[in-house]
C-alpha cells in the first residue's frame, strides 16, 4: 500500500515538472518565428544584430518565457559579452532556440548580418 502511494506521488510530481518544461518549450517555439522575423526586419532597416536584439527587447512582447530570455540576452550584450558566448551558454530547454541563436551568432561573427554586408551586395547584384 505504501509503495503504491509513493509511486503515485512520485509520478504526480514528475508529471507536474514535465508539464512545466513542456509549456516553456511550447511557448518559446511559438514565439521563435516572430522573433526571427523581427530580427530580419531590423537588419533590413539597417540595425546590426546587437542593436536589433536591443530594440526587440525594449519594444516587442512575445510571452513571459521568451521575453525573459530576450531581455537576458540584451543585458549580456550590453555588458559586451559576445553573442557567440551567449549562444553557447544560454540556459533554456528549447533546443530550437539554442540552435537558432547559434546560427545567428555565427552569421553575425562572419559579418553577413551587418548593414553593408556581403549579403547586401549579393542582393544588389540580383537586382541587376
Task: Give me the pLDDT at residue 128, please.
Answer: 46
Q: What is the mean pLDDT of residues 107-128?
A: 62
More confident residue, 44 or 55: 55
Whose grid coordinates read 553593408? 116
| pLDDT of 125 above 50 | yes
Domains in the chain: boundaries:
2-127
Task: Give me the pLDDT at residue 55, please.
Answer: 93
Mean pLDDT of the chain: 83
| pLDDT of 118 above 60 | no
Q: Are 96 and 106 in contact (CB under 8 A)?
A: no
Task: For the chain, give the longest Cα–Cα distance.
Answer: 79
Q: Which three cell numbers stand for residue 124?
A: 544588389
| CA-to-CA separations, 48 to 7, 17, 51, 102, in angstroms, rounded | 53, 38, 5, 16
The residue among 26, 27, 83, 17 whose CA lies nearest residue 50 is 83
Cβ neighbours around 75 below 10 Å, total: 13
| pLDDT of 101 above 80 | yes
The residue among 29, 40, 43, 78 whose CA lies nearest residue 58 is 78
Q: What is the pTM of this model?
A: 0.76
Amino acid at each position: 500500500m505504501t509503495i503504491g502511494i509513493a509511486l503515485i506521488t512520485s509520478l504526480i510530481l514528475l508529471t507536474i515538472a514535465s508539464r512545466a518544461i513542456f509549456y516553456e518549450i511550447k511557448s518559446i517555439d511559438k514565439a521563435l518565428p516572430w522573433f526571427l522575423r523581427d530580427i530580419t526586419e531590423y537588419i533590413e532597416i539597417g540595425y546590426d544584430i546587437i542593436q536589433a536584439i536591443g530594440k526587440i527587447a525594449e519594444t516587442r512582447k512575445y510571452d513571459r518565457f521568451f521575453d525573459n530570455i530576450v531581455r537576458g540576452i540584451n543585458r549580456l550584450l550590453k555588458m559586451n559579452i559576445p553573442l557567440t558566448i551567449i549562444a553557447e551558454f544560454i540556459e533554456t530547454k528549447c533546443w530550437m532556440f539554442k540552435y537558432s541563436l547559434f546560427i545567428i551568432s555565427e552569421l553575425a561573427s562572419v559579418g553577413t548580418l551587418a548593414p553593408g554586408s556581403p549579403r547586401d551586395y549579393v542582393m544588389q547584384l540580383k537586382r541587376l
